[in-house]
Amino acid sequence: MTATLVALAKPETPWSRPERPLVIGKDILELLSSSMYVDPMAMYREYVQNSADAIDLARIAGLSECSGVVQIKIDSASRTIAIRDDGIGLSETEFAQRLMALGGSQKRGTQARGFRGVGRLAGLAFAQEIVFRSRQEHEKTVHELRWSGRDVRSMLRSTQTRDLHETVMNSVEAREIPAFGWPKRFFEVELKGVVRHRDDRLLNPQAVFDYLAQVAPVPFHPEFQFAEQIGSLLQSHGVKIGAIDINVDGLGTVVRPHRNSIPFGKSGQTNFLELTTICTPGRDGGTAAVTWVLHSDYRGALPSNSLIGGWRFRVGDIQIGSNDLLAPLFPEERFNSWCVAETHVIDSRILPNGRRDHFEQNSFYLDLINHLAPHTREIAQRCRATSIHRNLIRHIETGLVGCEQKIKLFARASLADSAASKLAAQLDRDIQQIERLARRSVIAADQQIGYERRIKLLRQRLVRARDSRARRSGLEQFTPSQRIVLTEVLHSIYRAQPDLQTAQDLVDRILKRLSKTLKRRQHS
């Protein structure tokens, strides 16, 4: 008999909760401020987003005189930025607690745009000092809280161990000041000692204006012909666009950059004449997102200064990330910069990431991307079709111009008969080729008729040029013996020079010089 070894069951060691207190180090503050935002301009987006949420709350509460205005003042001389809104404001009891809390936002689970509670720290990376001010209606004081960016950075650089609580408490000061001269309800953030970053865009009013025109929840320009159609579509799905009015001091009210047409370099301008809308279904039978696509003639990548190129995403009418999030879905990524499109996310399970430069990669977001992929391919097909059409038109136009120049050359009396014969044969072939190109199906019917008319005129000019050559030789002023010599010389030039136009220019200069010499001898 063989013995079987039986493993003895080992008792499972139970799990238990750690008894030591959680240590949250000071470096978490750096992750939530300077390391959080790659693009310094995102600071404006974060503060404007908070203003938009505060304005929404004021309207829901039915507070009077809430015009939904955000004022931005930039003083480059003192390197100061002030952003103020007329939203609901913060009361004295909640002011300091809310502005010192990290990641403890009360917005999560609501319709608010922000919900992580870290956006207010965006300015710490770019200013020496941040001062928050607020007041609610009927309060007699204005509440102020000051974060010292200089102290925060100093403590973060220090090798002395500090926890997060100690770092924050040593960086923040608060006070109450008389409300005289201040609005009766407001919230303001003032950034002092703004650091120079790259091209100093943070203190460039025009750069700030252009940035907010792209990302902020501001209205379309009143003359944009598709504004009402897009607004009605989004409102039917619960998205209200243009929730706030942003005024950048010295530049006026910010509006979206979309227009009916945009300049397109040397080729004039491109017009927007067609709008396509797309509703992406959600898993539960609702709508996950609404998309609109503005179609142009797709002549190439839209100029970067148009501020509208690329397929963009928005949540709460605020742009998420840049204009190239969807570029990888195009068969050729370059076609993303040819289009103008926006997807407004409605499903709350499709979440922006912490930086708001992309989305959390969950199954709901991937469903949305898979639904949009066929539409990117359709745009790519339009881009290719118009590219083929433009190239075809370019070949036709170039061919027509070339034929006109060759007919002028053919009509010159000084052109040798052998060269003229070759040129005439080439003209016949070129005109036939242009006719074939002009009959392609991608050429519109009215364009085909126009090309047929121009080709007919070319043929008539060629016939007249042939008749004219048959009546004159171009060497009539010379004696018969001189013509024999000149003909041989000119033929040699045509044989030696493959470019007919260059050869003819040389022949014309020779004949002109000989003609002048002949006239001088006749007069002497």
| Euclidean distance between CA atoms 218 and 213, whole angstroms | 7
Residue 63, pLDDT score: 79
449's tokens: 């008729």
More confident residue, 262 or 243: 262
Instruction: Grade residue 524 by pLDDT with cuts at 50, 70 and 90.
Output: low
| Euclidean distance between CA atoms 510 and 514, whole angstroms | 6
Are 39 and 126 a contacting pair, CB within 8 Å?
Answer: no
Residue 414, pLDDT score: 63
| pTM of the complete model | 0.77
More confident residue, 340 or 489: 340
Q: What percent of the chain has pLDDT over 90?
A: 44
> Does 111 score more than 60 pLDDT?
no
Max CA separation in the chain (angstroms)? 142
> Does 121 score more than 90 pLDDT?
no
**Helix %, strand %, coil % of the chain (to 5):** 45, 20, 40
231, burial (CB in 10 Å: exposed 0-12, middle 13-18, buried 19+): middle
Residue-wise pLDDT for 43-88, tens only, equals: 999 999 999 999 988 888 887 677 889 999 999 999 999 999 999 9
Averaged pLDDT, 514-518 = 72
Closest CA to 47 of 7, 21, 12, 82: 82
* Most confident among 157-166, 232-241, 265-274 (mean pLDDT): 232-241
More confident residue, 520 or 462: 462
CA distances (Å), origin 483, targets 337, 366, 474, 479: 63, 83, 10, 6
Instruction: Grade residue 474 by pLDDT with cuts at 50, 70 and 90.
Output: low
Hey, where are the domains in the chain? Answer: 27-203, 268-384, 411-523
27-203: CATH topology: Heat Shock Protein 90 (3.30.565)
> Does 483 score more than 70 pLDDT?
no
CA distances (Å), origin 350, targets 284, 286, 330, 387, 393: 14, 13, 21, 35, 45
> Does 299 score more than 80 pLDDT?
yes
Closest CA to 507 of 486, 484, 522: 486
Residue-wise pLDDT for 399-454, tens only, equals: 998 888 888 777 776 666 777 788 888 888 898 998 898 888 878 888 889 989 99
CB hemisphere CA count around 157 (13 angstroms):
6
199-227: burial string, b at 16+ Cβ within 10 Å, e else: eeebbeeebbbbbbbbbbbbbbeeebebb
Task: Return all residues near 380 (Cβ < 8 A) that are at least 6 apart.
Answer: 330, 331, 332, 335
Q: Which residues pair with 294 in a beta bridge?
A: 275, 340
Residue 467, pLDDT score: 72
Mean per-residue pLDDT of the chain: 85
Instruction: Grade residue 371 by pLDDT with cuts at 50, 70 and 90.
Output: very high
Q: What percent of the chain has pLDDT over 70?
A: 83
| Euclidean distance between CA atoms 70 and 402, whole angstroms | 59
| Euclidean distance between CA atoms 379 and 456, whole angstroms | 37
More confident residue, 103 or 92: 92
Closest CA to 424 of 414, 411, 436, 413: 411
Residue 327, pLDDT score: 94
Residue 380, pLDDT score: 95
Residue 495, pLDDT score: 63
Averaged pLDDT, 366-394 = 92
> Does 23 score more than 90 pLDDT?
no
The lowest-confidence range among 81-90, 229-238, 328-337, 506-515 is: 506-515
Pick the CATH number of 268-384 from 2.60.40, 3.40.630, 3.30.230, 3.90.79: 3.30.230
> Does 503 score more than 80 pLDDT?
no
More confident residue, 425 or 235: 235
The lowest-confidence range among 7-16, 55-64, 139-148, 465-474 is: 465-474
Residue 216, pLDDT score: 95
